[in-house]
């Protein structure tokens, strides 16, 4: 693409101040899929200056003007959806069918959802004689990850634009190609100059510059807890708002009254979605000790339905991990699970049979995992499921909550009332009962070290608003 090595600043594609070429690797074949330039703090300064200048006018646009902009973006996005999906498949290995039907479609859904929110949201209301106004927070720095490249961008950008904020985006340098195509979509849709700016780069340079910048009013970050801590520390000196969606180690409690034949396969496949590279994946399956053998047998059968292969093949259901670094991390944790005594139900270390290149891993299920084991505590971010056994419901809840994370929790039961009672005890930002699907209109975010703030729907919209009280606005 002609714009790969450029940045988008103040409504146009510009050359980096100091070019610093970086290869984007196709993880399925380990070849170069594209090349970008990594930015510098000086590039961030240019982008922030443009965003600050644009905020003066864009923040004053009417609700109808912003709705019209969101609808134009939706139209142009739909016209290039296949191209966006292909870019994600090349940059991070998402199977093409999944890229089209889930990755790209979910990302578009955030703009559609934000149209619904903005149409009915009351930006002004009265408390007695005082006017309560919701106003755009200002210039926002968005720092997004590689695992859901467009979804995480649009989950932040759609509410930011709806609120009247201006933006500087740093996508992951590992998977930036879809963000470049998406930026072209925004340009085609007529986003005003300076309202949206793209600077590619790495976390220690561009991410740090965004977090520290005194003219950025808010940083919205999605990524690892380790990186999130660094962002928060860098932002602290300027007392800017920081919203974070971080790691997870979600538990899936399968209660004894659940239908194992349905609950176990659903849990396995949900854990393996996106090659396990999802922060809310149910990576710990808790089953009653009396049902251990039956659940393990069902899990083994479920893994046999997974089709690992070329992500460009429409029938592939699991592609590679995103990078060599991620491949090495997951392989190391699989080996740690074996060393610490967990039972390998299927999968294990190494590539799947027939693969001698690409960052493919064997879909792996461990049984007889104990809470003290590394694979029960650390976020693996690969297709690795840990099955733990419990003796009582109270023990299951305690095990589920015994983590520094709190992004999601899952409960399966044949009695919805039973599932509700157990779900109410989970310390997590989202709880899914009996295989409930995701919903982009309801809040998404974590407890504990899974972050702070919320994304999606009206809760995500309000993250980009300040609250102003105008006293004496109405007098008797």
Distance (Å, whole) CA 153 – CA 32: 23
Question: Of the listed 184, 245, 462, 463, which one is catalytic?
Answer: 245
What b/e string do you get for 251-262 counting C-beta neighbours within 10 Å, with b at 16 or more? bbbbbbebebee
Encoded tokens for 140: 């926002």
- Longest alpha-carbon distance in the chain: 81
Sign of CA dihedral 132, 135, 137, 138: negative
Question: Of the listed 86, 165, 271, 279, which one is catalytic?
Answer: 279
User: What element of type H or E holds 451?
Assistant: strand 451-452
271 is catalytic: no
Closest CA to 172 of 142, 212, 196: 142
The answer to whether 157 and 142 have CB atoms below 8 angstroms apart is yes
**What is the Cα Rg of the chain in Å?**
23
Closest CA to 411 of 127, 316, 400, 194: 400
Closest CA to 404 of 265, 272, 226, 276: 226
Closest CA to 322 of 223, 251, 227: 223
Which alpha helices (H) appear in 59-143, and where do they start and end? 63-79, 81-92, 96-98, 105-120
Distance (Å, whole) CA 159 – CA 273: 26
245 is catalytic: yes
Distance (Å, whole) CA 38 – CA 432: 39
Q: Which residues contact 97 (CB under 8 A, 6 or more apart)?
A: 314, 315, 316
At CA 97, angle to CA 92 and CA 100, rounded to 5? Answer: 80
β-strand 12-14 against 7-9: which pairing, if any?
A: antiparallel
Active site residues: 245, 279
């Amino acid at each position: 693409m002609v714009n790969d090595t450029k940045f988008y600043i103040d409504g146009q594609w510009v050359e980096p101040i100091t070019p610093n070429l970086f290869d984007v690797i196709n993880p399925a074949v380990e070849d170069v899929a594209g090349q970008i330039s990594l930015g510098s703090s000086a590039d961030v300064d240019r982008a922030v200056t443009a965003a600050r200048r644009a905020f003066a006018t864009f923040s004053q646009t009417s609700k109808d003007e912003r709705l019209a902009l969101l609808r134009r973006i939706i139209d142009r996005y739909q016209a290039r959806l296949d191209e966006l999906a292909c870019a994600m498949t090349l940059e991070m290995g998402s199977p093409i069918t999944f890229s089209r039907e889930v990755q790209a479609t979910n990302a578009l859904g955030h703009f559609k959802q934000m149209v619904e929110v903005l149409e009915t949201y009351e930006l002004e209301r009265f408390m007695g004689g005082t006017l309560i106004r919701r106003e755009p927070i200002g210039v926002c720095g968005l720092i997004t990850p590689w695992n859901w490249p467009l979804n995480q961008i649009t989950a932040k950008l759609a509410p930011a634009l709806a609120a009247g904020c201006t933006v500087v985006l740093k996508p992951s340098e590992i998977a930036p190609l879809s963000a470049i195509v998406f930026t072209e979509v925004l340009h085609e849709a007529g986003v005003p100059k300076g309202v949206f700016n793209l600077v590619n780069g790495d976390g220690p340079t561009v991410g740090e510059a965004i977090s520290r910048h005194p003219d950025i009013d808010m940083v919205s970050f999605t990524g690892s807890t380790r990186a999130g801590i660094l962002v928060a520390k860098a932002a602290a000196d300027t007392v800017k708002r920081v919203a974070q969606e971080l790691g997870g180690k979600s538990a899936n409690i399968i209660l004894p009254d659940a239908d194992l034949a349905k609950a176990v396969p659903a849990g396995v496949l949900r854990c393996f979605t996106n090659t396990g590279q999802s922060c809310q994946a149910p990576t710990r399956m808790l089953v009653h000790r009396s049902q251990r053998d039956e659940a393990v047998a069902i899990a083994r059968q479920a893994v046999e339905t997974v089709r690992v292969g070329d992500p460009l093949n429409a029938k592939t259901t699991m592609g590679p991990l995103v990078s060599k670094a991620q491949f090495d991390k997951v392989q190391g944790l699989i080996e740690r699970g074996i060393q610490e005594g967990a039972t390998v139900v299927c999968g294990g270390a190494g590539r799947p049979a027939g693969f001698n290149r690409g960052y493919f891993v064997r879909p792996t299920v461990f049984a007889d995992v104990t809470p003290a084991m590394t694979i029960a505590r650390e976020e693996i971010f690969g297709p690795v499921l840990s099955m733990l056994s419990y003796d009582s419901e109270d023990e299951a809840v305690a095990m589920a909550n015994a983590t520094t994370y709190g992004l999601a929790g899952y409960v399966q039961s044949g009695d919805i009332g039973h599932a509700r009672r157990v779900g109410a005890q989970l310390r997590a930002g989202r709880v899914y009962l009996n295989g409930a699907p995701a919903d982009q209109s309801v809040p998404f975010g974590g407890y504990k070290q899974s972050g702070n703030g919320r994304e999606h729907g009206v809760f995500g919209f309000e993250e980009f608003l300040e609250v102003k009280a105008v006293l004496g606005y109405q007098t008797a």
